[in-house]
Amino acid sequence: MYSSTQLSCSYRKQHTGSSLNNAATNNVIAPSPLKPLGLLGLMIACVVVFAITYSAKAHSADNSVALMSGSSNHWYKVPSEDTVTFTTEYGDVVIALNPSLAPKHVERFKALIKSGFYDKQYFYRVVDGFVAQAGSNDTHDKEQISPALLADIPAEFTLPLSQDVDVVESRDMFAPKTGFLDGFAVGLDEQRGEMWGLHCPGTVAFARNSEKDTASTEFYIVIGQAPRHLDRNMSVVGRVVSGMPALQKLPRGDAQYGGVIQEVTDNSKIGRALVHSDNHPNYYIQQPKHEEYLSRTNTGKTLDNPFFHDKVYAPRPVDICYYKTKATLNP
């Protein structure tokens, strides 16, 4: 497995071919070679993997959601107008947007989608274990696009802290506290009165140049481990609620080019992007007060499960990017 990817805060592809706009690259460490296990070792490994997989399957938003009976107020109903779909060769990717985290960026994202800006475009930069990026305006005829859709957006890295945030963890490594706002992972600083979206797997955010107020059309989706070093430095607009397997199948770019794919094909293409209408079924995101979520995080903190034997450091802090709230069409 790759280490956490390091890069500067500049993502946007320049107009001069497929090079990045500065010397920032990804310091990717190759996977360590595994020693042969032998038959007995393989059998033991399979048993362990089965045990872990059995308890962890429910963490995927794309798996069927087996939930305890929870009251309706334990689910956040994502408004149709804040739900968007990107079609790809490998299936649809559905994204729930949260205007409370970055209202101007969410507004721009939906306006670009409604204008057809992303149709027939590509996930032109895909870094294994990191992000899938799309939305370059290099291939558009700018004379046909409203200048307002191409203008830079003032950064929305943090916003005033909402009273509706549910705090889950107060011993996070990257924030004073972490929790959820309507099921979206956030960091918060009560002394500063601030909150911000976290870079968990499936997070959707706007890309930019090194200067903070330079986001305009490009976005990225986290497809690997949580790059939390980007928290408070990028404008987060939402999270994937369905379709992560489709993103994982996208062709990868070469590390020597910063993950930029030199020759894109239809396998990287966005067929169409659309904002949902009222006729679309609504997605629901689990609230952290839901009984199933409370039970899951309690196990993570206390290790109260026969599988765990060493509990020296329990209760432990939990990583809410791992203990994500679930998403479903049928709560």
- Residue 328's pLDDT is what? 97
User: pTM score, two decimals?
Assistant: 0.81
Within a domain: residue 6?
A: no
Within a domain: residue 188?
A: yes
Within a domain: residue 255?
A: yes
CB of 313 within 8 A of CB of 206?
Answer: no
- Residue 141's pLDDT is what? 77
Cα(104)–Cα(96) distance, rounded to whole angstroms?
A: 16
Positive/negative CA dihedral, 9, 200, 259, 85: negative
CB of 212 within 8 A of CB of 218?
Answer: no
Specify the CATH number for the domain of residue 309: 2.40.100.10
Half-sphere exposure of residue 170, counting CA atoms within 13 Å on the CB side? 3
Residue 264, domain extent: 70-328
Tally of domains in the chain: 1
Provide the edge-to-edge strand list for the sheet that holds 284-286: 75-77, 284-286, 327-328
Within a domain: residue 132?
A: yes
Helical ranges in 102-227 per DSSP H: 103-114, 147-150
Alpha-carbon distances, residue 260 vs 26, 105, 257, 263, 306 (angstroms)? 11, 24, 6, 9, 45
Within a domain: residue 17?
A: no
Within a domain: residue 56?
A: no
- Residue 273's pLDDT is what? 98
CB of 5 within 8 A of CB of 27?
Answer: yes
Within a domain: residue 320?
A: yes
Tens digit of pLDDT at every position of the chain (331 positions) = 323 333 333 333 433 333 333 323 332 222 222 223 333 333 333 333 333 333 333 333 443 333 433 345 799 999 999 999 999 999 999 999 999 999 999 999 999 999 999 999 999 999 999 999 999 867 777 778 899 999 999 999 999 999 999 999 999 999 999 999 999 999 999 999 999 999 999 999 999 999 999 999 999 999 999 999 999 999 999 999 999 999 999 999 999 999 999 999 999 999 999 999 999 999 999 999 999 999 999 999 999 999 999 999 999 999 999 999 999 999 8
Residue 215 DSSP class: B
Cα(248)–Cα(176) distance, rounded to whole angstroms?
A: 32
- Residue 161's pLDDT is what? 98
Within a domain: residue 30?
A: no
- Residue 144's pLDDT is what? 84
